[in-house]
Structure 1
Amino acid sequence: MLPVCRYLIGIFLGLGILVTGTLNLSAQTQQEKDKDESEEPVEDPIVTILRQRVDAYRQTVGIVVGEIRGTRRTVYARGTLNRATIRKATGMTVFEIGPLSSLYTSALLGLMVKDGEVSLSDPVSKFLPDSVKIPEYSGQPIRLEHLATHTSGLPRLPNNVISADLNNPLDGYSVDLLYQFLSTYPLTYDVGTTYEYSEVGMGLLGHVLAWQAGKSYDALIQEYISTPLKLANTGSTPTISMKTLMATGHDRTRRPITAWSDTTLVGGNGVRSNILDMMAFISANMGIIYVMPEYTEEDSIKFQAAFEEVIRPRYAASRPGVETALGWRARKGARDRYTHWLSGRTGGFYSFVGFNKLSRRGVIVLSNSSVPIDDIGFHILTPGYPLASPPKLTSTADPQTFQAYTGTYEFSPGLTVDIMTTDGKLYGQPPGQMRSELFPESNRNFFLQQENAQITFVKDVAGNITHLLFLKNGQTREARKIR
């Protein structure tokens, strides 16, 4: 009996060990499951921002961010090339970059100066036909440096555009029209003293550089920038490759917009590019330069020196503490660290670029909607910078009431805004600037998303609109309807 008992005891002990082991294994499995459920992957903050703008706020259709940290470059993307496709936006997607075109034009200027082709002090008239009269003020000529720093005295857009499309104002604008504008436009203050952002000035700079070189603007970009830096999809005239990668522009309500079609002032607003090309270009502005193997060390040194001159602050800009370099805006921060940036839009795209050279950080944001995205760029570059509040919800207003609001309103002598209605929407447009949509909160109250401002139209006792009230940053200004 003894051997049998020992045998049974062994069996029970084995079963006990098996049961205990099974229970322990089950407990361990449950703990790991609980741990997995409690430790869900944390979404990257940049991914969260892009998801909100595309999916939650519906402010754009596709958006791509390029982040530069020294020699490391990272691409983030969300959305599609347009609303009618499932093709996702990527680092290869080509966007209209609007005013960021001026950064390529300024780089061309800096590199051509290093080559001895031009000088910053050259008067613009040196590079144009004798029949073209360049405006002067008190005998002071406009020089190339003035065009590149927006201190020429020229307006944002020429006053003789022929396009009726407010989202594509330079469509059909010719060189002859540009020369006509230059020969008749009167400057109103000393050249080189006042900052006024001028797309026509920067476009003129691109034109005269091409004139001097005897080549097209795109050929200059290819020779001086694209080939050395290995940029594959940058230019004002899209290549076959660029066309296959091109995003469609959209307005603030995500309706498709006709592509920008300027062919004369491309140096100010007509370039197209993608995140991959722009990260290489912005890295070069930061002094992080990789040129093609066939280029010599002397070529690399020339690039370094040229971009040092391009980003050097030269004049005070319109806002306190902001200076203008060649094409760039710059602000000095803590420990004398300059942040350089530029942003802007075409009819259906918005773009931002900024960098801090000493910290070796840069950010590019490209969006195929005209809704501003500056806050995203500044927030990534400087995490303490606040993101914009979620967009306000618009209310339903009767478009038939909009006609009564149309006309010209005067804040002060010479400072006016035109109110117009198109396709059931209300717009405001200061002279020489692009129009902005006014979104209804009620039949008489509207708001501007990009400025976080409110506009109220005021009637007299007879029901006629007499003036508007413009509320921004807690201050209200009145503009009288003059016609």
Structure 2
Amino acid sequence: MKKLCAALGLLLATTCAATDAPLLPQRVADTLQQRIDAGEYPALVIAVVDGDSSAVYTYGKLDQGKPLDGDTVFEIGSITKTFTATLLAQQVTTGKLQLDQPVATLLPGFSIPSRDGKAVTLGNLAMQNSGLPRLPSNLRPADAMDPYADYSPAKLKAFLSSYTLPRDPGARYEYSNLGVGLLGYALGVHAGTSYEQLLQQQVLQPLGMRHSSTVQTDAMHATMAPGHDATGKPMGNWHIDALAGAGSLVSSGNDMLRYLKANMGRLPSTLYPAMQFAQAARADGPTPAERIGLVWMTHHDAAGDVIEHGGMTGGYASYLGFTADRRYGVVVLTNAAIAPEDLGRATLLADAPLAPAHKRISVPEKELDDYVGSYQLHPGFNIAVFHKGDQLMSQGTGQDEFPVYASAKDEFFAAVADISLSFKRDEHGKVTSVVVHQHGDHVAPRVGAHMPEANDRPAITLDTATLGNYIGHYQLAPQAVIDVTLKNGQAFVQLTGQNAFPIYASARDKFFLRVVDAQIDFERDKDGKVVALVLHQNGMDQRAPRVAE
């Protein structure tokens, strides 16, 4: 572990004296090192504020063994939203905009949905209660590994003009990347510039954040930590166009320490009144213990309230938070898509829980056969366990599959979330159930020796011309579209916001999935043109008409 100190008022960190007392609580430092040793995080930077003292600590190493420091750059994902909130609060506190002002007033030529005469306001977008969905249904990336890169202002405009709000603006909280992305775009248009230029002029440059931008230059890539997904697989960077205000920023530990101090009032800045305005809790959040201001969440804890926000992209995760008394603060940046929220909160609060580090052990492929099966967590929801080679996989009904890793005999954990599995055996050594540890302990009896029958079904081969008939977009719900694509002769389906999965033909117009027990039938009109699909899953038949681009 390397330790760097950042002195108040300096742009760059300087090496601390060896006698300096560490600011990072020992239990957090120990857990963090254990996770690095276990391979959960390749590299991690954590910046800590304790009163007038601050420090930046680095753990792990970059690919090819390269060292990292306080200027190493990471994607910070949705923490970008707090910068968007600062831009809005700055305009409101100076009287140039109002929270109850309709966003339509900033976007001439846009048709913004309303409901019962109630317009979506700037405040609704920032407080995540606009009624807009998490993602727009016309988000159909050309590259699923860079999902926002080709989502343009024209696509944003087209979606808004056709969307119907399911509830009144302000009715309830619903996290929306679309909503905050729209807010950032609108603020840029209102200022007559781009979101990037507005952010640089109003926040980044005034705070001396020289290694931060929403545009990834070659120079920035030279100091960027390569990203990884939750399994450790290398991931490319995300590039965000129209929705930049929702998650496009890249930054460093040193820069984010300056931003943290500014929000805590411990770095002199004319932005502080706007930052305080944005942090003030105004509406209900996702849980009874949480309230939301302008993007910022206030998490209530018996030991004290924490003002915070997290972020995640395809290959990175981050956390920023500080105590409501503005005494303690922390920033965590890592180049793996594994949320570090517990590390952040445990740095701020002595009694905050820390998930244990898991050391991965190897299990021979043949032994993984013991666990393969279907386990019923509750009626209508099963957990399928299977393996791909020597990697054990788990998948809930209707959900994406994810890998689980062995930490001991019959004990497995997931890297994508705080989930672990304990398999139980009978007196003959046969696995009969699994205990799912997530928000408690939940027993799921084994109800089948195999994956759903669909996974063992034989498939037939259809020619490329026939498969081409099915390519298109199918509207399953107002904000959910099933995309059918073709790659190297293999057909895929992808629901909005989910991964793409292969489908296999059992007959002309009839397909099935192997990752879940689901079937898809395509409908044709009297002229033989495919006009809809019907999804058969969980005892339901859901029809999705084909829609134009």
Superposed CA offset, 1:263-300 (max 9, x none):
22111011111111111112121122324xxxxxxxx3
More strand by share: 2
What are the ranges of 5 or more consecutive residues in structure 2 without an aligned counterpart?
1-20, 423-433, 446-515, 519-535, 538-549
Is the contact made by 1:80 and 1:89 (CA closer than 8 Å) also made in structure 2?
yes
Task: Using the TM superposition, name which of 389-398 and 360-369 deviates more.
Answer: 389-398
What are the ranges of 5 or more consecutive residues in structure 1 without an aligned counterpart?
1-40, 292-299, 457-467
Alignment of 1:209 onto 2:187: yes
Q: Which residue of 2 aligns with 1:94?
A: 73
Written as runs of structure 1 = structure 2, the 5 A alignment for 1:58-77 is 58-77=39-58
Cα pair distance change 1:124/1:418, threshold 3 Å: farther
Cα pair distance change 1:238/1:138, threshold 3 Å: same
Query: Per chain length, whose mean CA-contact separation is higher, i.e. which structure has more relative contact order (CA < 8 Å, sep 6+)?
Result: 1
Is the contact made by 2:316 and 2:336 (CA closer than 8 Å) also made in structure 1?
yes
**RMSD of aligned alpha carbons:** 3.8
Alignment of 1:310 onto 2:278: yes
Alignment of 1:341 onto 2:337: no
Q: Which amino acid aligns with 1:474?
A: D
2:418 to 439, 452, 461: 452
Q: Which residue of 2 aligns with 1:297?
A: none
> Secondary structure at the residue paired with 1:229?
coil
Shift of 1:455: 8.2
Q: Which amino acid aligns with 1:61?
A: P
Is the contact made by 2:378 and 2:444 (CA closer than 8 Å) also made in structure 1?
no
> Secondary structure at the residue paired with 1:342?
strand
> Secondary structure at the residue paired with 1:111?
helix
Cα pair distance change 1:262/1:313, threshold 3 Å: same
Distance 2:335 2:388 in 1: 22
1:50 to 25, 29, 32: 32
Distance 1:133 1:427 in 2: 43
Shift of 1:238: 2.5
Alignment of 1:256 onto 2:234: yes
Is the contact made by 1:411 and 1:480 (CA closer than 8 Å) also made in structure 2?
no
Is the contact made by 2:42 and 2:60 (CA closer than 8 Å) also made in structure 1?
yes
Q: Which amino acid aligns with 1:142?
A: V
Q: Which residue of 1 aligns with 2:101?
A: 122
> Secondary structure at the residue paired with 2:254?
helix
> Secondary structure at the residue paired with 1:377?
helix
Q: Which residue of 1 aligns with 2:340?
A: 373
Is the contact made by 2:46 and 2:58 (CA closer than 8 Å) also made in structure 1?
yes
Q: Which residue of 2 aligns with 1:168?
A: 146
Alignment of 1:437 onto 2:433: no
Q: Which amino acid aligns with 1:368?
A: N
Superposed CA offset, 1:335-384 (max 9, x none):
8x531111131000010111014142101000000122111111111121
Distance 1:384 1:118 in 2: 41
TM-score by length of 2: 0.66
Distance 1:149 1:66 in 2: 27
May I ask how many residue pairs the two structures share in their alignment? 408
Q: Which residue of 1 aligns with 2:483?
A: none
Q: Which residue of 1 aligns with 2:83?
A: 104
Written as runs of structure 1 = structure 2, the 5 A alignment for 1:281-360 is 281-291=259-269, 300=270, 303-333=271-301, 337-360=304-327
Distance 1:226 1:63 in 2: 22
Is the contact made by 2:392 and 2:405 (CA closer than 8 Å) also made in structure 1?
no
Q: Which residue of 2 aligns with 1:245?
A: 223
Superposed CA offset, 1:279-331 (max 9, x none):
1112121122324xxxxxxxx3xx23211211000001111121011111102
Distance 2:118 2:386 in 1: 38
Cα pair distance change 1:469/1:333, threshold 3 Å: closer
Is the contact made by 1:314 and 1:324 (CA closer than 8 Å) also made in structure 2?
yes
More helix by share: 1
Percent identical among aligned pairs is: 29
Q: Mark the structure with the bigger radius of gyration.
A: 1
Shift of 1:178: 1.1
Written as runs of structure 1 = structure 2, the 5 A alignment for 1:24-39 is none
Distance 2:54 2:435 in 1: 46
